[in-house]
Structure 1
């Protein structure tokens, strides 16, 4: 790849991540089963951003395929009740997800725009951006008002992939603090644990 094309690819990924919520001073909240979860405060928000990382012993192409199967991904996304692809256009996809919540919390749903970019070294970045008004609200659900984050899949060898999952969410409505605090640790940990198990199956 020529230097100009390589620079274009690098700039493309940088621009992709430019809108992701600015989080600093990450503090490790859980380090177990080869998965590390760190949390960070976000200015102006009472909800922490979370970042989970792990090494999956599977080729990047396999991990990416599991990610891009919108309906199938509900099997490994934490507390996912239902997910479907709304639209796919070039590098962009729009998905709708319904989530299970504790009995005292109204179920949530979200609409995301997912933008995929591939860098010169083969790293795949999937930017996640909430688009809550893309479709009308569903009765019985509170629409998540804001989602910013990304998935990053980095090839480490022919059969191993480093996966980073970082998100900040404004869940909308009223959520007890203990529920929010538990979710920001459980969501990345359980999601990566399930994805890892599925991807590493022979």
Structure 2
């Protein structure tokens, strides 16, 4: 289940394009309502990677539980159209399938993500996201995202506050209009973190 959400989150990120591992030169693109979004160029890709950072007034366990709620997570993930668990092996190793909603006339995307969970020494958590496009057969009417790398990093800051970082690099497959690519890399982390925060802080 945890993998599902992670994937889901990735899903939203899917369009975020390009660069967790290779992105290095992060530039602040938007700072709004306590959420900072950074973008980075990625060598060999025309799409930028994105990273969103926010402090949420909730502990790691509360946020982790929201990410494990596959059915409910689509409500706070930007552009999430559908999300489901494909396979789970143990508590921290799963595969999820997600559909990403695209504005007309852009063809919808879908993504299969292998999610692994790492517990950190400080009581935090990292959900590693890796695209696995061949794990699920092609779906008619969807363009499969061929590459995605990312992570969700939860770091406890004390007093019930968690720093959440959402970072993704991806190649969306097919052709994406420049206006959509440019807006998505900012909107995906901004809107996802904003909705996640609002949901977590109601708990």
Q: TM-score, normalised by structure 2?
A: 0.88
The 5-angstrom pairing of residues 1-202 of structure 1 reads: 20-90=20-90, 91-202=92-203
Deviation at 1:21, TM superposition (A): 2.2
- Deviating above 6 A after TM superposition, structure 1's stretches of 4 or more consecutive aligned residues are none
CA contact (8 A) 1:74 1:83 kept: yes
Deviations 1:5-42 (A, max 9, x none): xxxxxxxxxxxxxx942211111000001100000000
Deviation at 1:71, TM superposition (A): 2.7
CA contact (8 A) 2:78 2:191 kept: yes
Q: Which runs of 5+ in 1 are unaligned?
A: 1-18
Q: Which runs of 5+ in 2 are unaligned?
A: 1-18
Aligned match of 1:14: none
CA contact (8 A) 1:56 1:200 kept: yes
CA contact (8 A) 2:20 2:167 kept: no
CA gap 1:20/1:39 in 2 versus in 1, 3 angstroms: closer
Per mean C-alpha deviation after superposition, the further-off stretch among 121-130 and 86-95 is: 86-95
Deviation at 1:120, TM superposition (A): 1.0
Deviation at 1:72, TM superposition (A): 1.8
Paired residue total: 184
| DSSP 3-state at the match of 1:133 | helix
| Greater RCO, CA 8 A, separation 6+ | 2
| DSSP 3-state at the match of 2:194 | helix
Aligned match of 1:5: none
Deviation at 1:116, TM superposition (A): 0.3
| DSSP 3-state at the match of 1:196 | helix
Distance in 2 between the 1:146 and 1:82 partners? 19
Aligned match of 2:9: none
Distance in 2 between the 1:114 and 1:70 partners? 13
CA contact (8 A) 2:97 2:113 kept: yes
Kindly report the root-mean-square deviation, in angstroms, between the aligned alpha carbons of the 2 structures.
1.2
CA contact (8 A) 1:128 1:150 kept: yes
Deviation at 1:93, TM superposition (A): 1.0
Distance in 1 between the 2:112 and 2:159 partners? 33
